[in-house]
Amino acid sequence: MKILKYWLAVPTTLAVLLASIGGVRSQQQIALTPGFNEPMVLTGTSGDSNCGKMAATASHVITLGDNFSYLRFTVDSQGGQPILLIKGSNGSSSCVQSDEFSGNTITDSGYWNAGTYSLYIGDRTGAQHNYSLSITQQQ
Backbone angles phi, psi at 7, to 5 degrees: -65, -30
pLDDT tens per residue across span 80-103 = 889 999 999 888 999 998 877 877
Prediction pTM value: 0.76
pLDDT tens per residue across span 31-73 = 999 999 999 999 999 887 778 777 888 999 999 999 999 999 9
Burial 90-120 (b: 16+ CB within 10 A, else e): eeeebbbbbeeeeeeebebeeebeeeebbbb
pLDDT value for 80: 84
27-136: what CATH class? mainly beta
> What's the rounded Cα separation, in Å, for the pair 75 and 120?
11
Which residue did the predictor score with more confidence, 114 or 13?
A: 114
Percent of the chain predicted with pLDDT > 90 = 52
Q: Where are the domains of the chain?
A: 27-136
pLDDT value for 26: 53
pLDDT value for 101: 80
